[in-house]
Amino acid sequence: MNAPMKPGSKADRDALRNDMTTAGCTVADISIEMRTRYRMRPREAWRHAHGWTLQETADRITRASLQRPGGAVAADASLVGKWEKWPAPSSRRPSLPVLLAMADAFGCRLSDLLDLDDRRNLPDTDLRVLAGHAEEPVTEPVPAAITPSAAQTLEPTGPDLVHLAADESATWAIWAEASNVGDIALEQLMAETRALASDYLTCDPVGLFLRTRALRDRVFTLLEGHQYPRQSADLYVYAGYLCGLLAWMSSDLGQLRDAETQGRTAWLCAELSGHNDVRAWVLSTRSKVAFWDGRLREAINFARRGATYRTPGSVSVLLACQEADAWSELGAGPEAITALSRAEEARTTAQGEDEVGGIFACEPARQQNYSAAVQLRVGQPAHALRAAEEALSLLSTQRVRAYGTEAQIHISQAAAHLSTGEAEGALEALAPVLALPPDHRLAPVARRLSELSAGIGPRPWATGVAAIDLRAAIEEFCVNSAPRQLALSPGEGCAWFDRGHEYSA
């Protein structure tokens, strides 16, 4: 059984041309079908409608130009390929003499060789001249020096085989030197990625999700095109960061399965980019998702794996903090404290700056936030309270105050007060958290508050007014949290995500 023809291949084009010719279609009909079916530029479609190679077309254009006084054109295969692709990058604009010679060679009107993109990019002087050729009659195609009949569809031999091989190499070279993205565009994509990662610390998460998704789609679209290998590597870097950011956001909005999917795609992009910074940050993101999904051993493994990459900036600090967080949740106090010590060492030895920053950075206040939570779980409330107070002090000196981090610091502070029966102090510490608008009440904050409320129950002072008020305020907070609002939104709300799942607190 013969293998199916690849769409757009030479065999596929030849079959289409033969079928349409047998059906009585004209060359013009065939060129239109070529343009529509294979998304070709007009000049390339006319060449394939005739079944000519680049070099055959170059020879015919040269001969046709000699029949017009003052219009001589020296064409070759490479030039024809560039004229066909114009106005795409790395192409060449065909001059009026070239276009006239092409029209004579193909046996078509000048207007048949141009589409809207061509006309938008032609100089006004050329457009005025073209207007004068609007009614120019169609000429017969200029014959080749040797016009084979059935030989067009047969495998060439002898010198023709050598000419065809050179023509194919020239066609590939035209494709290889073209790119759908430039260095300035790549710089802009990185700048927009940094802005999103920074804005997420302070802005509405759903609005940021939409912006991040749109930028990710732009990067994916570019990757589906053609660019130089170094540009492809850069695009995979941006795709890795953006999918990582979507994973982080999805987790914060309670969509853990979607977060895991985004994390896997982010890791694929990181691997394809060969970029260790992206690898480390994606593994940090996956550790975070695994932690909140209750997969604590996986969270530890992701964090440890991320730490094997030697990278600049603060990712090694965050990875050690995340490992400590998971160990403390498992009740492994010594391992948790050891991991916190590694975070301190990583802070001391860290060099360079974070490539993206924002959510992909671990400022000292964020590190102390992790320390406070870990100290609480290992039964050191006094240490936790000191860490929380230090975190708030450090946060006050930062240019950007991340509301999610600040909320968790206050929760640790409140938990430390509750451990000594100070319900009033806990309620006071939680005041900034409880005042957060619903769209800033992220899943990790709501979950930690729920755990805090659950821990009040068996305490001797749990029936006091302050404790009762505290539980009521936490319940109201969780009912009006961002994940809860998302779960109760109408069907169109699922457009916020690539696919939607209900949130279960």
Size of the chain, expressed as the number of residues it contains:
505
Q: Are residues 167 and 209 in the same domain?
A: no
Q: Are residues 170 and 200 in the same domain?
A: no
Q: What is the mean pLDDT of residues 40-55?
A: 93
Lowest mean pLDDT among 52-66, 427-441, 461-475: 461-475
* Residue of 190 and 427 predicted with greater confidence: 190
Residues 6+ apart with CB under 8 A from 365: 391, 392, 394, 395, 398, 405, 409
User: Binning pLDDT at 50, 70 and 90, where does residue 489 land?
Assistant: low
Q: Are residues 336 and 379 in the same domain?
A: yes
Q: Are residues 190 and 169 in the same domain?
A: no
Question: Is pLDDT of 503 > 50?
Answer: no
- C-alpha triplet 49, 52, 56: angle, nearest 5°: 150
Could you give the percent of the chain with pLDDT greater than 90? 53
- Whole-number average pLDDT of the chain: 85
| pLDDT at position 492 | 42
Residue 336 DSSP SS3: helix
Q: What would the pLDDT profile of 332-351 be if each residue is shown by its tens digit? A: 999 999 999 999 999 999 89
**Which residue, 176, 191, 220, sits at the end of a domain?**
176
Is residue 222 one of the residues assigned to a domain? yes
| pLDDT at position 496 | 39
Is residue 5 one of the residues assigned to a domain? no
Q: What would the pLDDT profile of 211-243 be if each residue is shown by its tens digit? A: 999 999 999 989 988 888 999 999 999 999 999
Question: Is pLDDT of 78 > 60?
Answer: yes
Is residue 504 one of the residues assigned to a domain? no
> Is the peptide bond prior to 87 cis by the omega test (within 30 degrees of 0)?
yes
Q: Are residues 77 and 144 in the same domain?
A: yes
Q: Are residues 193 and 166 in the same domain?
A: no
Q: Are residues 48 and 89 in the same domain?
A: yes
| pLDDT at position 504 | 30
How far apart are alpha carbons 277 and 309 in whole angstroms?
8
Token pair recorded at residue 361:
């950075």
| pLDDT at position 482 | 81
How far apart are alpha carbons 57 and 282 in whole angstroms?
51
Q: Are residues 43 and 138 in the same domain?
A: yes
How far apart are alpha carbons 164 and 55 in whole angstroms?
8
* Residue of 328 and 489 predicted with greater confidence: 328
Is residue 2 one of the residues assigned to a domain? no
Question: Is pLDDT of 136 > 70?
Answer: no
Lowest mean pLDDT among 16-20, 319-323, 425-429: 425-429
Q: What is the mean pLDDT of residues 425-446?
A: 89
Give the CATH number for residue 278: 1.25.40.10
Q: Are residues 140 and 21 in the same domain?
A: yes
Q: What is the mean pLDDT of residues 273-278?
A: 96
Could you give the percent of the chain with pLDDT greater than 70? 86
Could you tell me if residue 361 is left (phi over 0), alpha (psi between -120 and 50 degrees) or otherwise beta? beta
Q: What would the pLDDT profile of 437-488 be if each residue is shown by its tens digit? A: 988 989 999 898 888 887 776 655 555 666 777 788 888 888 888 887 777 6
Q: Are residues 302 and 187 in the same domain?
A: yes
| pLDDT at position 501 | 36
* Residue of 322 and 95 predicted with greater confidence: 322
Is residue 428 one of the residues assigned to a domain? yes
DSSP per-residue letters across 261-307: HHHHHHHHHHHHHT-HHHHHHHHHHHHHHHHHTT-HHHHHHHHHHHH
Residue 291, domain extent: 183-496
Q: Are residues 248 and 397 in the same domain?
A: yes
Of 448, 99, 119, the C-alpha closest to 252 is 448
Q: What would the pLDDT profile of 300-316 be if each residue is shown by its tens digit? A: 999 999 999 989 999 99
Question: Is pLDDT of 188 > 70?
Answer: yes
Q: What would the pLDDT profile of 4-44 be if each residue is shown by its tens digit? A: 667 778 888 999 999 999 999 999 999 999 998 988 999 99
**Which residue, 140, 158, 176, sits at the end of a domain?**
176
| pLDDT at position 494 | 41
Instruction: State the helix-helix crossing angle for 465-479 and 443-454, rounded to 10 degrees.
Output: 150
Is residue 3 one of the residues assigned to a domain? no
Residues 6+ apart with CB under 8 A from 448: 373, 408, 411
| pLDDT at position 137 | 57
**Which residue, 176, 196, 211, sits at the end of a domain?**
176
Is residue 1 one of the residues assigned to a domain? no
At which residue do the structure tokens 């030039």 appear? 79
**Helix count and strand count (H, E) for the chain:** 24, 0
Question: Is pLDDT of 72 > 50?
Answer: yes
| pLDDT at position 140 | 64
Name the domain count of the chain.
2
Q: Are residues 205 and 79 in the same domain?
A: no
Q: What are the C-alpha distances in Å from 464 to residues 93, 421, 452, 459?
A: 82, 11, 16, 10
Question: Is pLDDT of 186 > 90?
Answer: yes
Q: What is the mean pLDDT of residues 187-198?
A: 95
Is residue 503 one of the residues assigned to a domain? no
Of 95, 162, 104, the C-alpha closest to 129 is 95
306 and 265 Cβ atoms separated by less than 8 Å: no
